[in-house]
Structure 1
Amino acid sequence: MVRSLEWDDSSCTLQLLDQRLLPAQVEMVTCENYTKVSTAIQNMTVRGAPVIGAAAAFGMALAACQSAQTTTEGLRADLKKAADVLIASRPTAVNLAWAVQRMLKKASVPASTADDLTQLMIAEAKLIAQEDVETNRRMAEFGAALIEDGDTIIHHCNTGSLATVDWGTALGAIRMAHEQGKKIHVLVDETRPRLQGARLTAWELDQYQIPYHIITDNMSGHFLRSGMVKKVFYGADRVAANGDVCNKIGTYMLSLAAKTNGVPVYAVFPTTTVDLNLKSGDLIPIEERDQEEVLGIEVNGQRVTPQGAKAFNPAFDVTPNDLITALVTENGVIYPPFDINLPRAVEDF
């Protein structure tokens, strides 16, 4: 597996794996400045809550590297401008804002020169990336313990190495269970309209040699009712203090069908995805993407939608906490009542 991002000290640039081209092509995009990082986050060259947080951290490092300021005060002003641009790149995933705010906090520590402050920015971005790898590994171990030998699992969107710096969240748990020798099978939701499941999760499962079948999103209920599916796993882009989970659009419908059929549902995410300032998922802003992602479907070279058709295209939905069996973080598996146990798991570590 190619890591989703790499920092080059010699040129002070960030390399991002272009996820728009997968699985047909494996190419890296070079970001020389923070505005290019912002664009890469917006156009989904890089996607997945944990990794866009790390990418934004390196975007702040790039802002420091590219700044013409010669004083620490001037450099901090440039970093604040970069922070505003990066935070605005995608509004829903809380990891992005968390990483940028952490970088700003690091920028406030005393530094003798602008060069010294730049080195602090680079070191902090590297630390955020490395912490993500370690966090995901711990999550994978907790999540894998919930998977039994012989399980068939429905997985929504992409939550593997591509969505993180390395390893993954929900797909990381599935990968860990496979590496432990458990015989598992994955039903991969296509995850329309951008097909992160069919393109990215299927590609990752190929790399890991984990058996899978791709299904359309509206097939999940059928397979859940059939008794074939034993677990549902997905990630999160923001989690409210009460355990409501905001994730890729389609997660809510999947969770409803699982609850109706008595199939356990597990959301896997780092504690940096938890927003304790929001009491419920109703307060989470939902990104609305370009309607062309929905309308621009072609079959046999012909556009399938009528000319002039309009579409809604929310990128995320919110799954109420009563549809979720447990939340899996790097600090362990959290069970209801989530409004008590989730803040405790975040604050006590």
Structure 2
Amino acid sequence: MNEIRTVTHAENVKLSEDGASVVIIDQTQLPNRVEYLTLNRAEDCFDAIATLKVRGAPAIGIFAGYALYVLARQFQNLPYEEFAQKVHEVKEYLNSSRPTAVNLSWVLNRMEGVVRDNAELPVPEIVERLHEECVKIHQEDINMCRKISEYGLSLLHDGDGILTHCNAGPLATSRYGTALGPILLGTERGMKFHVFADETRPLLQGARLTSFELQKAGVDVTLICDNMASIVMKNGWVNACFVGCDRIAANGDFANKIGTSGVAILAKYYGIPFYTLGPTSTIDLNCPTGEDIKIELRDPEEIKEKFYREPMALKEVKCYNPAFDVTDHTLVTGIVTEKGICRPPYTESLRKLFE
């Protein structure tokens, strides 16, 4: 498989006043251009997350860890109290960029915890601990993706047809991905799958990213419009649905890219197993149900204008543009994590993962 590394840690050969940088593939330029961005300003890091230059819950988390380290380097000459306050402010700022993906807050809180837990050390040593932590977070994600891929592959058979929505492959994570991980791992082992990739409007992550990754990896992929999912299921071409997740509630409800719940409803109707795949870091046991998940609303112009040469609706037409929807746990066949596959009742199986 042609491995795609989404986030890399790039320290400058020569340290400047602003220190190190984070290097990312600009996902908004795919599939026609593969461009890299070198970021070392808080505003640019915020923008990269908010405008989906880096996206996918695990990748956002990795990026946030590196970004907080990069920015903390710029404060390392301050006394501890001022340094800790600056880090806290940057953490809160970055955390506000996308409220739904729990990995973002999980990583930022973990990084800030390093600052608190090492208050007795000189600030430059704390910064080095931050460096160690963000590298560790990245490596953990690589290991996590491999384990999820192994568990997910156990649910598939050679020759299966799989439908996926949005993007949960290497671009959204660190290596294999979550929802695409089993497909890519199986392909490496000589298995053959046929994947139907929803285009995933309005930002077309399925078209621009998922079909790109699968095609590059040699997987038989067919791109379909979101409203074609029903007919390919009815035709008997889909044996399973694999999707990612941005936040999983304690009862098994989960948030994912807008349109996911519709796929789950269709799969239930046609008797097709429906799985969500994600790391335990996306599970929020403090969030009782999907009703408690905050859904990000995005710019209405994404619907009317983005990717079009000219607007496709009148300027005065109102738009409703939620980034995510919540899939009810009753529609979910299983939740695949790096610790195993959870089955209903999810209030019990999810909690057991943390025991």
Residue 256 of structure 1 corresponds to: 265
**Which residue number in structure 2 is paired with residue 268 of structure 1?**
277
Give 1:20's aligned amino acid: T
8 Å CA contact 1:34, 1:62 repeated in 2? no
Give 1:334 deviation, angstroms. Answer: 0.9
Q: Is the 8 A contact 2:31 2:212 kept in 1?
A: yes
Please say if residues 255 and 324 of structure 1, whose CA atoms lie closer than 8 Å, have aligned partners that are also in contact: yes
- For the residues of structure 2 that align with 1:203 and 1:190, how far apart are their CA atoms? 11
**In the alignment, does 2:163 pair up with 1:154?**
yes
- Indicate the residue corresponding to 1:136 in structure 2: 145
Which residue pairs with 2:202 in the alignment?
193
Q: Does 1:164 align with 2:173?
A: yes
Trace 1:94-243 onto structure 2 (pairs within 5 A).
Answer: 94-110=102-118, 111-243=120-252
Alignment pair present for 1:6 and 2:15:
no
Q: Cα deviations across residues 80-108 of structure 1 (Å, max 9, x unaligned)?
A: 01111011010000000000000011111
1:42 aligns with 50
Alpha-carbon distance between aligned partners in 1 of 2:42 and 2:226, rounded to the nearest angstrom: 35
Taking the aligned partners of 1:288 and 1:135, their CA distance within structure 2 comes to: 30
3-state SS, counterpart of residue 22 of structure 2: strand
Partner of 1:283: 292
1:21-54 deviations in Å (ceiling 9; x for gaps):
0011111111113332111000110000011011
State the one-letter code of the partner of 1:190.
E
Aligned to 1:340: 348
TM, length-normalised to structure 1: 0.96
Tell me whether 1:85 sits opposite 2:93 in the alignment.
Answer: yes
| C-alpha deviation, 1:310, in angstroms | 1.4
Conservation of the 8 A alpha-carbon contact between 1:251 and 1:319: yes
**Which residue is 1:314 aligned to?**
322
Change (3 A) 1:191 1:298: closer
For residue 90 of structure 1, give the secondary structure of its aligned residue in structure 2: coil
C-alpha separation in 2, matches of 1:331 and 1:296: 42
State which of 300, 303, 311 in structure 2 corresponds to 1:303.
311
Distance 1:219 1:331, change over 3 A: same
**Distance in 2 between the 1:4 and 1:203 partners?**
14
Amino acid at match of 1:29: L
Q: Deviations over 1:108-141 (max 9, x none)?
A: 1234311111111111111111111110111000
CA RMSD of aligned residues (A): 1.3
AA partner of residue 239 (structure 1):
I
Q: Which amino acid aligns with 1:66?
A: Q
Partners of 2:40 and 2:71 within 8 A in 1:
no
| Deviation of the 1:297 alpha carbon | 5.3
SS in 2 for 1:20: helix
Q: Is the 8 A contact 1:140 1:172 kept in 2?
A: yes
Shift of 1:2: 3.5
CA distance in 1, matches of 2:211, 2:78: 48
Equivalent residue, structure 2, for 1:15 = 23
Query: 1: CA distance between counterparts of 2:310 and 2:68?
Result: 43
Corresponding residue for 1:65?
Answer: 73
1:246 matched to 2:255: yes
Shift of 1:148: 0.5
Cα 1:297/1:89, change in 2 over 3 Å: closer
In structure 2, list runs of 5 or more residues that go unmatched: none
State the Cα distance separating 1:63 from its structure 2 match: 2.0
Deviations 1:200-253 (A, max 9, x none): 001101111000110000000111122111000000000000110100000000
Deviation at 1:189, TM superposition (A): 0.2
Q: Which amino acid aligns with 2:344?
A: P
Shift of 1:298: 6.6
Q: 1:46/1:72 Cα in 2 relative to 1: closer, same or farther (>3 Å)?
A: same
Q: How many Å separate the matches in 1 of 2:86 and 2:285?
A: 29
**Amino acid of the residue matched to residue 212 of structure 1?**
V
How many Å separate the matches in 2 of 1:160 and 1:271? 17
* TM-score after normalising by structure 2: 0.95
**Residues 298 and 304 in structure 1, CA contact (< 8 A), matched pair in contact too:** no
CA contact (8 A) 2:76 2:124 kept: no
Q: Secondary structure at the match of 1:343?
A: helix
The aligned length equals 346
Q: Is the 8 A contact 2:176 2:185 kept in 1?
A: no
Task: Single out whichever of 43-52 and 72-81 deviates more from structure 2.
Answer: 72-81
Equivalent position SS for 1:178 = helix
Does the Cα contact within 8 Å between 1:51 and 1:163 map onto a contact in 2? yes
